[in-house]
Structure 1
Amino acid sequence: MSIEVILGIDLGTTNSAVGVVESGFPILLADSAGSRLTPSAVWYGGEGEVEVGIRAKRRRGMGGVVTSVKRLMGTSQTVGGRSPEEVSAEILKELKEIASERLGVEVKKAVITVPAYFNEGQRGATHRAGELAGLEVVRLLSEPTAAALAYGLDKLGEDKRVVVYDLGGGTFDVSILEIRSGQFEVLATAGDTRLGGDDFDEAIVKAAGVRLDELDEGERGRVLEEAERVKFALSEDEEAVFRVPFLLGQGVEKVIRRKDFEASIESFLKKTEACCRRAMSDAGVRPEEIEAVVLAGGSTRVPAVKARVETIFGRSAVEGVDPDETVGLGAAIQAGIISGAVREVVLLDVTPLSLGIETVGGLMNVLIPRNTTIPCKAGEMFTNAVAGQTAMRIRILQGERELAKDNWELGMVEVPFEAAAKGQARVGVQFSLDASGLLEVLARDTATGKDTVLTIESSAVDVADARVEQMVSESVDHAFADMSARVFVEAKLKAEELLGALVPALAELGEALSADDLEKVREAETKVREQLGAEQQSGPLLKAAVEELDQATEELAALVVERAMMGQ
């Protein structure tokens, strides 16, 4: 029985690639000109014409060319009236056509790579772009994981802890993986979805004394193309000439030295280093415990990048695979695993940020913690907070902060139910993350068994990509304040519950308490009310006061239970 062909696609910021597994080996498919890399560029003509790849890139100096659209995925921004998904779909159509021509058959299924730090909205947008291109997207695969696959099968052996440092045209990812017995498990991941070779190009433009904001679209294209050429040259030579004739009426010519270029990108290299150290911390791994470092993405050819990687991890990167082709080859391998062309490899990816819902008091209740291996499912039971409540609104959140307001809302579902006393209505909530990182939320009214299902395909908040990486940093920066706020909210809820029950209980049974017990209850009650009304509210102090009140009312609570049993 023949094996169905599934494409592996690296949908990159600067270049894209398509590959398959043939006779057990992953290969990238070349276009009619013999190139295995297709520029991620789309040109739209005034008469509705569309050109993709190298043909579009050649028109860059003329205007109408869209590049680096990957940076806009998952946002509501448009490019010439077109969504990022629509532009990306044109690139995917081109790759699909290249594959069909080379293989002699039309291929309709694909694995598409995404940065590990893409959030739910960005992953959903990539999935939709594939569908718009006429592809069935069988899996979204994290780029660092794809790179590990490309090296891991024939380079790294078994029982290894590996770093994948992936610096492309517009995104950066670093992942710590463990490889054992044919199984790849991502221990931790970090990154910045708005950092890459495009930033290096703009640094060269600035060094040449050119301001991009003073140029029209055609001039901007010419300038960035020359900056890219100079960047490539500086990877081999100590200096290169930045030359753009007839720019702003006179042209620009400037010698760019490698040492000056490296100084201009130092801030970007520091950002990648911070991500690397955070990933190692999350994985509980020290640099000396790393047994191999894999580079992916064309920007890793820059000597300063290689040097920084060696400084961070104390070892040189593994050689042998073209960093521009690594992710595409890994995607082809994963496609081969799914189709059956490659066997005995298991791939376990992780979710980059925690997922949960908002609970009473505005707290974030995590159902799937950050760095949980996917696919996975997690659920919890929730009850109504107010008597007579007839519905429960469930806000789905993504992020690392303790308070719901500081995280991102991905969506919302409302579950109706029969009015019930406080705590009597029960709603089960289950999160299900598939292998592509897409989230399905199921909410069930346990009384009726009725399900409400929401599939998260795009973020409800238009958040800049850089905020994904910042979320983890902010959770560390605000850890103490966030935890103090959570402690206060939880203590406040408990205090309100105790005080609400205390007033009627004292009115009914207060005389049954001894004078000492009654005094202890009144003193503890006063402390709680003082903490609730304090100008500078303190979670620990309120929590201590609540615990004191809880202990002081033990005898009263016992009398309430006894009276209730006698009345039955």
Structure 2
Amino acid sequence: MTSNKILGIDLGTTNSAFAVMEGGDPEIIVNSEGDRTTPSIVAFTDDERLVGKPAKNQAIQNPEKTISSIKRHMGEEDYTVEIEGEEYTPEEISAMILQKIKRDAEEYLGDDLERAVITVPAYFSDRQRQATKDAGEIAGFEVERIINEPTAASMAYGLEDDADQTVLVYDLGGGTFDVSILDLGGGVYEVVATNGDNDLGGDDWDHAIIDWLAEQFEAEHGVDLREDRQALQRLKDAAEEAKIELSSRKETEINLPFITATDDGPIHLEESMTRAKFESLTSDLIERTVEPTEQALEDAGYDKGDIDEVLLVGGSTRMPQVADKVEELIGEEPQKNVNPDEAVALGAAIQGGVLGGEVDDVVLLDVTPLSLGIEVKGGLFERLIEKNTTIPTEESKVFTTAADNQTSVQVRVFQGERELAEKNELLGEFHLTGIPPAPAGTPQIEVGFSIDENGIVNVSAEDKGTGTSEEITIEGGAGLSDDEIDRLQEEAEEHAEEDQQRRERIEARNSAEAAIQRAETLLEENEEVDDEIRESVESAVEDLEETIDDEDADAEDIEAATETLSKELQEIGKQLYQDAGAGAAGGAGPGAGAAGAGAAGGPGAAGGAGMGGGMGGGPNPGAGGPDAGDDEYVDADFEDVEDESGDDDGDDGDDS
């Protein structure tokens, strides 16, 4: 049965979390490994694909085929990961993570899930947002909304508090940094300003430790561990662990035995790192959060004294230097009642509840993080929608041609804050044709921008004289066509079926092996079993072992063979009960009768275990599965209507 619930997903750089509304409150869903967060890691082995904790656990042995921090590449036009000759886009890798989230959530809830709200960093561009939406659709979700992570976190914080307040959300995740300022009150969450750095996160703190360890080791032993993929993976794991330990301790030991070897034998890495040393190595990183924070305050028109509460979001905010820096910047001690790893997913679930009708009296007013506009004469960037504009929104301006008898114009759409268009991010471009020949400055061409609730941009251009128009939804180079999404969805569904079949086979095998072990124990402990029964059990064991080893055998084949063995084990139980009864009738002493009953208890238990496995028994629900700037465009097509006409009122718009 398909649930009408909308899943809230925090698709993180290093870890992801997901939640759903239950009884009016958002609840984190535990994954199939029993954890509240899922590593955003995908690995490929010879015979299967691993996602989450199983992928992370084998990363040292398989670094070449293990993919992490893929979120940092979302929206990159030509970025792919090559595994065994196959190329995967960031959207496809992210979809694999989302598939696991979808499957685990469905197992937890006992229903199919189709709809989701997925969060993104507030400073994500349109291209990155579209890529995230594509990933969700490939995974089989209908993505109801893309919302900003700091906004989601503030919803989790403010759900139980209707007081009017201004909140600063400082979100330092594994790969991105955002800061947002919101006005909260009466169930309204209004984002006033946002800023950030999409290339700053906890991974960078890890790399600082990695580089320090590698440089120390090279100075002592003359070997650069970063050139060895396996050694580098061990350094990554050790650096992450050291970072976490130094959040609660003043010093940590880093020991990596047999990290490499030379002609003289194996070499071990042994280093001590103090929190003071760690903070000195990463002081430049924490300083990179200062300017975006100050810029957000300036854009909002607030002083630090106007901030009522500071929320820390993202696992990286557990580092003491973060709280210290934020308190120094704002003069306000950050709140401690928000779980930095879970707040975003909880907020996404609340937004899902709003969209699904489970949550009333909550209004989310988010903003676009960067200005949107087009290239105009001279290669300048003409803004149509300013940054921090509340969305959804739409704006339009009138432009004109820059040359005589110009019959077409090229609209090049950019996003950013630089004054030269080529210094900003090109989102897309299209042509408007069919303009009647006329002197330069005569045609009136209206360019309109709109941004929907997901932050996705639509651009149109219309020749007001002829009514000719063109429009596109900006998807950028990373956007996928419907056909591509359909194809990738089919591939994802195929993998999902394979994963489910693999899981069922592993569960059946586990039950079968337990039945074999029990059978062997029973035969060893009960020599009085009749030869005929013994031979039948041994034959059933042999058949089951052959079935397990048969790569073509599926879960049903193994379960059937396990059921056969279970029935044979019941014959042992019958004989032992009969023998015990005969002994009692013959006047055997109480001790003998007790012994016989005890022996009978054994096969009774064995029969239960066998039936449990044969009938599909296995791990509990939710815990199953395998471990498991071109010169051509400088003289732009458009020219400013205002300049050409001498119109000073600003209503007619600008050149393009």
TM-score normalized by structure 1?
0.79
Q: Deviations over 1:457-494 (max 9, x none)?
A: 22589xxxxxxxxxxxxxxxxxxxxxxxxxxx999x96
CA distance in 2, matches of 1:260, 1:236: 15
Contact 2:8–2:348 at 8 Å: present in 1 too?
yes
Equivalent position amino acid for 2:453 in 1 = A
Contact 1:3–1:339 at 8 Å: present in 2 too?
no
Gaps of 5+ in 2: 219-223, 262-266, 480-637, 647-656
CA distance in 1, matches of 2:315, 2:201: 9
Contact 1:122–1:458 at 8 Å: present in 2 too?
no
Contact 1:74–1:125 at 8 Å: present in 2 too?
yes
- Which residue of structure 1 lines up, in the alignment, with residue 102 of structure 2? 96
Q: Are residue 298 (structure 1) and residue 315 (structure 2) matched?
A: yes
CA distance in 1, matches of 2:228, 2:167: 45
Contact 1:207–1:256 at 8 Å: present in 2 too?
no
Residue 210 of structure 1 and its aligned partner are, at CA, apart by 5.1
- Which residue of structure 2 lines up, in the alignment, with residue 170 of structure 1? 175
- Which residue of structure 2 lines up, in the alignment, with residue 21 of structure 1? 21
- Which residue of structure 2 lines up, in the alignment, with residue 251 of structure 1? 268
Change (3 A) 1:399 1:253: same
- Which residue of structure 2 lines up, in the alignment, with residue 455 of structure 1? 473
- Which residue of structure 1 lines up, in the alignment, with residue 485 of structure 2? none
Q: 2:245 aligns with which of 217, 229, 233?
A: 233
Contact 2:75–2:128 at 8 Å: present in 1 too?
yes
Residue 401 of structure 1 and its aligned partner are, at CA, apart by 2.4
Name the SS of the counterpart of 2:364 in structure 1.
Answer: strand
Change (3 A) 1:215 1:422: closer
- Which residue of structure 2 lines up, in the alignment, with residue 431 of structure 1? 449
Q: Deviations over 1:371-404 (max 9, x none)?
A: 1011111111222232311111111111222232
CA distance in 2, matches of 1:402, 1:420: 30
Residue 251 of structure 1 and its aligned partner are, at CA, apart by 2.0
Equivalent position amino acid for 2:471 in 1 = V
Residue 213 of structure 1 and its aligned partner are, at CA, apart by 6.6
Equivalent position amino acid for 1:14 in 2 = T
Q: Are residue 107 (structure 1) and residue 113 (structure 2) matched?
A: yes
CA distance in 2, matches of 1:24, 1:118: 30
Name the SS of the counterpart of 1:61 in structure 2.
Answer: coil
Residue 147 of structure 1 and its aligned partner are, at CA, apart by 0.7
- Which residue of structure 2 lines up, in the alignment, with residue 531 of structure 1? none
- Which residue of structure 2 lines up, in the alignment, with residue 217 of structure 1? 229
Residue 140 of structure 1 and its aligned partner are, at CA, apart by 0.7
Q: Are residue 152 (structure 1) and residue 158 (structure 2) matched?
A: yes
Residue 117 of structure 1 and its aligned partner are, at CA, apart by 0.6
Contact 2:400–2:639 at 8 Å: present in 1 too?
no
CA distance in 2, matches of 1:413, 1:210: 54
Contact 2:3–2:112 at 8 Å: present in 1 too?
no
CA distance in 1, matches of 2:645, 2:453: 42
Contact 1:148–1:330 at 8 Å: present in 2 too?
yes
- Which residue of structure 2 lines up, in the alignment, with residue 66 of structure 1? 67
CA distance in 2, matches of 1:226, 1:407: 38
Contact 1:409–1:459 at 8 Å: present in 2 too?
no
Equivalent position amino acid for 1:448 in 2 = T
Name the SS of the counterpart of 2:384 in structure 1.
Answer: strand
- Which residue of structure 2 lines up, in the alignment, with residue 288 of structure 1? 305
Contact 1:174–1:190 at 8 Å: present in 2 too?
yes
- Which residue of structure 2 lines up, in the alignment, with residue 355 of structure 1? 372
Larger Cα Rg: Structure 1 or Structure 2? Answer: 2
CA distance in 1, matches of 2:240, 2:298: 34
CA distance in 1, matches of 2:225, 2:156: 40
CA distance in 2, matches of 1:353, 1:105: 39
Q: Are residue 12 (structure 1) and residue 12 (structure 2) matched?
A: yes
Q: Are residue 385 (structure 1) and residue 391 (structure 2) matched?
A: no
Equivalent position amino acid for 1:36 in 2 = R
Residue 137 of structure 1 and its aligned partner are, at CA, apart by 1.1
Change (3 A) 1:460 1:427: farther
CA distance in 2, matches of 1:324, 1:399: 29
- Which residue of structure 2 lines up, in the alignment, with residue 182 of structure 1? 187
CA distance in 2, matches of 1:388, 1:460: 35
- Which residue of structure 2 lines up, in the alignment, with residue 79 of structure 1? 81
CA distance in 1, matches of 2:3, 2:250: 50
CA distance in 2, matches of 1:3, 1:344: 23
Provide runs of 4+ in structure 1 moved above 6 Å: none
Q: 1:332 aligns with which of 336, 340, 349?
A: 349
- Which residue of structure 2 lines up, in the alignment, with residue 50 of structure 1? 49
Change (3 A) 1:229 1:4: same
- Which residue of structure 2 lines up, in the alignment, with residue 398 of structure 1? 415
Change (3 A) 1:205 1:407: closer
Q: 1:344 aligns with which of 361, 371, 374?
A: 361
Gaps of 5+ in 1: 462-488, 499-568
Contact 2:75–2:478 at 8 Å: present in 1 too?
no
Residue 219 of structure 1 and its aligned partner are, at CA, apart by 2.2
CA distance in 2, matches of 1:4, 1:189: 32
Equivalent position amino acid for 1:95 in 2 = I
Q: Are residue 124 (structure 1) and residue 125 (structure 2) matched?
A: no
Contact 1:162–1:177 at 8 Å: present in 2 too?
yes
Change (3 A) 1:3 1:214: closer
Equivalent position amino acid for 1:130 in 2 = G
Equivalent position amino acid for 1:447 in 2 = G
Contact 1:3–1:341 at 8 Å: present in 2 too?
no
Equivalent position amino acid for 2:228 in 1 = D
CA distance in 2, matches of 1:46, 1:102: 29
CA distance in 1, matches of 2:29, 2:152: 17
Q: 1:445 aligns with which of 454, 460, 463?
A: 463
Q: Alignment RMSD, CA only?
A: 2.3
CA distance in 1, matches of 2:45, 2:11: 23
CA distance in 1, matches of 2:167, 2:11: 23
Q: Deviations over 1:291-340 (max 9, x none)?
A: 00001000111111111111111111112121111111111111111111
Name the SS of the counterpart of 2:203 in structure 1.
Answer: helix
CA distance in 2, matches of 1:407, 1:321: 35
CA distance in 1, matches of 2:226, 2:317: 30
Name the SS of the counterpart of 1:187 in structure 2.
Answer: strand
Contact 1:364–1:401 at 8 Å: present in 2 too?
yes
CA distance in 2, matches of 1:460, 1:33: 32
Equivalent position amino acid for 1:273 in 2 = V
CA distance in 2, matches of 1:219, 1:85: 28
CA distance in 1, matches of 2:71, 2:103: 20
CA distance in 1, matches of 2:397, 2:475: 22
Residue 214 of structure 1 and its aligned partner are, at CA, apart by 2.8
Contact 1:411–1:460 at 8 Å: present in 2 too?
no
CA distance in 2, matches of 1:219, 1:100: 38
